[in-house]
Every structure is written in C-alpha cells, then in structure tokens.
Chain A
Amino acid sequence: GAGVSQSPSNKVTEKGKDVELRCDPISGHTALYWYRQSLGQGLEFLIYFQGNSAPDKSGLPSDRFSAERTGGSVSTLTIQRTQQEDSAVYLCASSDRGHSNEKLFFGSGTQLSVL
C-alpha cells in the first residue's frame, strides 16, 4: 500500500473485553512504533520493533498491553481486560531506520472507546 494502514479505524468495546488493533506498515520499513494519544494530548510511546531485534516494550503501561510483529511486517497491539482509561487514539508508525532515515510515517490511528 501507499502508506501505513490501521484497522479498525474505530472500536467501541465494553469494559473488561479484550481488543486487537492492527497495523500494516509501509512495505520494507524495518521499524514499527505504537503510540497512544489521549484526547488533546501528546504522543505516548508504547512499543518499538526494529527488524529481528527484541522489541523495546518500555512504554507499555501495564501487563494488560502486549504487541507482536509477525514476519517483520504486520503488527497487532492487544489490550486485555480493557478499562475506561484505555480510551484513546492508538497510532502506528513505521520508518526505514536501516538507512539512517528517521522519518516516521503514521497511520490515521484507531479510536478506541471503552464503555
């Protein structure tokens, strides 16, 4: 595809349910990031994947959050037992870090609403 694709664009769930958010990065990009953005706020780093290296999970807010990246391409962010405070926009970004290019390409995000 031409850009980073995220699905779904909107997700409404009930408190306590699990959700999966998907990110399709730009083909060939080795780096993939997940960020969380609460309403009117800045970008909160969650997790970073770079090639085959172990992911940097230092931003995950609790053990209810996990992410994987299969085959170095598609990534899934999973939130278990969702809470109302998890409501936010979840943004995915990719970059071609392997060529000293720091530019991040963002998807349009998934708006998560936990009722």
Chain B
Amino acid sequence: GENVEQHPSTLSVQEGDSAVIKCTYSDSASNYFPWYKQELGKGPQLIIDIRSNVGEKKDQRIAVTLNKTAKHFSLHITETQPEDSAVYFCAAFDSNYQLIWGAGTKLIIKP
C-alpha cells in the first residue's frame, strides 16, 4: 500500500526567508497530492494541491512541485511571515482513493 514520508519534522527559518518541506510516496499510481496547514487548536486546512499531470503549481507565496519519476513532491513557501508558523501535512491518494498522510512538519518562523 501507499506510504508517505515527510521531512523535516521541524523546520526553523528566519522571517522573510524561504521554507521547503519534502515528501516521498511509494505508489507510482498515486495521482493527487495535497498539502494541509494546521494551526494550533484547529483542524488542518487545504492550502494547495497538485495532480500527477502537472509538475508545478503556484498560489502567491506558496508553490508545490512534483517529480513523478522520483516519487517526491515538495512545498515551497517564499518570503515567510509569522502567520506561516504552523504544522504542515502532505498526503497522497492510495489505490482506494483514500488519503495517506505524512507525519507533519512543524514550521517555526523566527522574527
């Protein structure tokens, strides 16, 4: 079955710098890769997603890249701001179209 690994578990960056979080998946048939942001005391919220027929997708300061050959995808946040501090989760569909989640990355933005 599908397995998703996420790195790093914690990432600390200076405000204004970029942050990159990486995920790998095991099932080459997976075709949908979302990223969710979870703020303290709240449920996760979808921030961006990508499908396997696309290599990159951008939404303002956030971008996701997908390398199907290597089976990995990454979240890029540019010009980080204090409100970007949160836990970020990647996920991928398994063969039953259920989301398999990464373990999460705690992003800390230092002032």
Residues of A at the B interface (CB closer than 8 Å) are: 4, 41-43, 45, 48, 56, 91, 93, 102-104, 106-109
Contact = CB atoms under 8 A, between A and B. Distances in A.
Interface string B67-107: 00000000000000000000001000100111101111000
Contacts of A45: 98, 101
Nearest to B46: A103
A107 B42 CA distance: 7
Given A42-B103, A45-B101, A104-B36, 5 more contacts: A48-B98, A56-B98, A91-B44, A102-B99, A103-B34
A34 B103 CA distance: 17
Contacts of A103: 34, 46, 49
B44 A106 contact: yes
Among B32, B41, B44, residue most surrounded by chain A Cβ atoms (within 10 Å): B44
B46 A104 contact: yes
Counting chain B residues whose Cβ lies within 8 A of the other chain, the interface size class is 20 to 34
Interface pairs A-B: 6 shortest CB-CB: A106-B43, A42-B103, A43-B101, A42-B104, A103-B46, A106-B44
A73 to B, nearest CB: 19
B54 to A, nearest CB: 15
A109 B44 CA distance: 10
A10 B32 CA distance: 33
B45 interface: yes
A108 B44 contact: no
A91 to B, nearest CB: 5
A107 B45 CA distance: 9
Contact of A91 (B43, B46, B49, B104): B43
A91 B42 CA distance: 9
Contacts of B43: 4, 91, 93, 106-109
Contacts of A4: 43
Interface string B40-56: 01111110010000000
A106 B46 CA distance: 9
